[in-house]
Structure 1
Amino acid sequence: MARPPHRPPTLRGKIFHGPSVVAAGLLTQTQLRGKAWRRLLRGVYADAELPVTHELRCHAVAAHLLPEGGAIAGRSAAALLRVGLVGFAEPVEILVPTCARPRMSDVIAHVSAVEASDRCRIQGMPVTTPLRTCWDLAQWLPAEEAVVLLDRFLRSSLVTKAELASLGTARRGGYGSARFAHVLSLVDGRAESPQESRLRVMIVLSGLPAPQVQWEVYDAAGFVARVDLAYPEVRVAIEYDGLWHASADQLHHDRRRLNRLQAAGWLVIHVTASRLRDSPDAVLREITGALALRRR
């Protein structure tokens, strides 16, 4: 029978710096490479019984690699704030003061002044505040993806549109202010999913008029539906259909809802994830055609 791996009680359930543990005599190099431990980052290990998540890797960076005055930032901060999802293997993003940037493939370090007011603590880790995270996301991500996350910050009530506007005003004329203003002009916290945000931004950036978000439709009998995006002046609706629409019960509900919308004089365009990803130009042509048809 194989002997169980050597697992000192002080290291169980913990994240630790491998070379320091070996130097202290708690493990040998051979034991460190055994099945009891998992390498998270260069030189940083964890108990193999801990589930590997992006959050766990953020803990590893915060405890052993983050320079003084730095903070977990960007998409990693959004994940810790329960706004965005980041894959466990994706690099941890951090914000660090000038000349304090660690260089490793597991970490993306952005260099900028980090004020005490830009940081909060989550699970004991220094993390950029929701407002500072929104500013950074607008700088570091393509506009469409930044809007997706800022929409979710607004919907989660972690920030308000007024706070974002005040931040833009306070930094007007400075580095990154124009980019932030552009992203902010596209933000609308009423979107109920990231894909709805992507669809709306794609429409606006194409040059089409900005649609209304979560528009409520009524007929003589009362409430009919709340549609994802709408041009109410011409009764054109755009609906994003996620995977949950595929169930038999949901299909029955959707068809009954569609019939009522059509009876109320609405033209409805349906967009799926594959069409949004693979055929965005075709989607835009359909929307353009529908608007032109209704405006004749």
Structure 2
Amino acid sequence: MPPPRRPDVLRGRVFRARDVLAAGLLSPAALRSSAWRRLYRGVYADAELPDDPDVRISGACLLIPAPAVFSGRTAAHLHGAGELLDPAMPVEVSVPPGVRFGPIAGLRVRRTVLPASDVTVVHRRPSTTGTRTALDIARAEPLVEAVAALDVLLARGVVDRAGLRRSLDAAPSPRGMRRAGRAVELADPRAESLPESRVRVLLALAGLRAVPQYTVRDAGGNFVARVDLAFPEHRLAVEYDGAWHAEAGQLGRDRQRLNRLTAAGWRVVFVTAADLRDPDALVARVAAALGR
């Protein structure tokens, strides 16, 4: 069987089916070949393009009406916080009330008032501003996940805490603002990973306030290690043990680091992804370590 025909003009492109059919670039049968990947109803991409958020956002641009903007975690991705958008998540767009659009498989359509001050353009894509993006996430998502997202947005400089607080105070509607205010209060740009943020928030909600990215020094003031979370007065560190710890040579480095911390009089509680699935047990383990 001959390979599917891929016109040069469509290589590396995202396109609407009706446009290429009308131009005679492809036949309906050719459009169904393995050369192309369907993104949404009536929108396709060159199958050699990566199946990533940027390609799906490009496809969505061919569908969304003029008043619509990308929002939520899709907007966070556009603003430079790519780790907040899981590849399996649908692309999110917000449209003003009264604008008819959707539903469309692969898109999450939200209907909300969009003042001009909340709308910007990022990489030639219409998007909510950084502050509106952060507050939308903080209003809509569970507290732990919302704070983890705000940590990233603060660390990337997409938003600042003062701006978030001003927007909270000026919000015309109180809906979700109490939850958002709590998320802003708990957010901390010093966090260096989403799991670390989740652990910190779970502990904070239980009344255990840890210091993120704390530098441990020995009695002589010499650097020992920087730990994910610390309770300095108890000389207790809480470390998230992620997949990267399984890399070649990392075990030895981890052991040496643990030995240095122990020699400096510190104890370490290690946390894994499995621990995050049982928050109560995780909090109890840290609380018990603090009580020793």
**Percent of aligned pairs sharing the same letter:** 45
Of 6-15 and 230-239, deviating more is 6-15
Contact 1:71 1:126 (8 Å CA) reproduced: yes
8 Å contact kept, 2:67–2:96: yes
Which residue is 1:67 aligned to? Answer: 65
Deviation at 1:115, TM superposition (A): 2.6
Letter in 2 for 1:231: F
Q: TM-score, normalised by structure 2?
A: 0.90
Asked if 2 retains the 8 angstrom alpha-carbon contact of 1:65 and 1:102, the reply is no
**Change beyond 3 A, Cα 1:227–1:178:** same
CA distance in 1, matches of 2:115, 2:30: 41
Give the SS at the match of 1:233: helix
Instruction: Give the secondary structure class of the aligned counterpart of 1:191.
Output: coil
Of 192-201 and 65-74, deviating more is: 65-74
Q: Which moved more, 1:72-81 or 1:191-200?
A: 72-81
Indicate which of 82, 85, 96 corresponds to 1:84.
82
Which string of whole-angstrom CA distances, capped at 9 and with x for unpartnered residues, describes residues 70-115 of structure 1? 1111111122223133344431111111122321221101111223
Distance in 2 separating the partners of 1:128 and 1:258: 44
Match of 1:55 in 2: 54
1:40·1:60 contact (CA, 8 Å) conserved in 2?
A: yes
Deviations 1:269-296 (A, max 9, x none): 111222223x433221111111222xxx
Which consecutive unaligned segments of at least 5 residues does structure 1 have? Answer: none
Mapping 1:1-296, distance limit 5 Å: 2-62=1-61, 64-85=62-83, 86-100=85-99, 101-171=101-171, 174-205=174-205, 207-221=206-220, 222-247=222-247, 249-277=249-277, 279-293=278-292
1:53-85 C-alpha deviation (Å, 9 max, x unpaired): 1211111111x2212221111111122223133
1 CA distance for matches of 2:88 and 2:174? 34
3-state SS, counterpart of residue 93 of structure 2: strand
Task: Specify every segment of 5 or more residues in structure 2 that has no aligned partner in the other structure, as ranges.
Answer: none
CA contact (8 A) 1:208 1:288 kept: no
SS for the counterpart of 2:224 is: strand
Asked whether the equivalents of residues 214 and 230 of structure 2 are also in contact (C-alpha less than 8 Å), the reply is yes
For residues 16-41 of structure 1, the C-alpha deviation after alignment (integer angstroms, 9 at most, x for no partner) is: 21134323433322122122222110
Counterpart CA distance in 1 for 2:143 and 2:231 is 23
Q: SS at 2:39's partner residue?
A: strand
Displacement over 6 Å in runs of 4+: none
Q: Distance in 2 between matches of 1:247 and 1:147?
A: 29
Distance 1:132 1:173 in 2: 13
| RMSD (CA atoms) | 2.1
Say which SS state the counterpart of residue 133 (structure 1) adopts: helix
Shift of 1:248: 5.5
1:4 and 1:149 map into 2 onto residues whose CA distance is 44
CA 1:290/1:89 → structure 2, altered by over 3 Å: closer, same or farther?
A: closer
Secondary structure of residue in 2 paired with 1:126: strand
Indicate if the aligned counterparts of 2:140 and 2:176 stay in contact, CA closer than 8 A: no
3-state secondary structure, aligned to 2:49: coil
Distance 1:87 1:234 in 2: 37
Q: Is the 8 A contact 1:71 1:95 kept in 2?
A: yes
User: Per the alignment, do residues 141 and 26 of structure 1 end up closer, same or farther by CA in structure 2, a change over 3 Å counting?
Assistant: same
User: Quick one: distance in 2 between partners of 1:172 and 1:259?
Assistant: 54
Deviation at 1:172, TM superposition (A): 7.3
Q: Distance in 1 between matches of 2:238 and 2:256?
A: 17
SS of residue matched to 2:144: helix
Q: Is the alpha carbon distance of 1:24 and 1:286 closer, same or farther for their aligned partners in structure 2, counting shifts above 3 Å?
A: same
Shift of 1:52: 1.9
Is the Cα contact below 8 Å between 1:84 and 1:149 reproduced in 2? no
Cα deviation, residue 126, structure 1? 1.0
**In structure 1, C-alpha distance between the alignment counterparts of 2:219 and 2:265, rounded to whole Å:** 12
CA distance in 2: counterparts of 1:78 and 1:69, whole angstroms: 19
Structure 1 letter corresponding to 2:24: G
SS at match of 2:81: coil
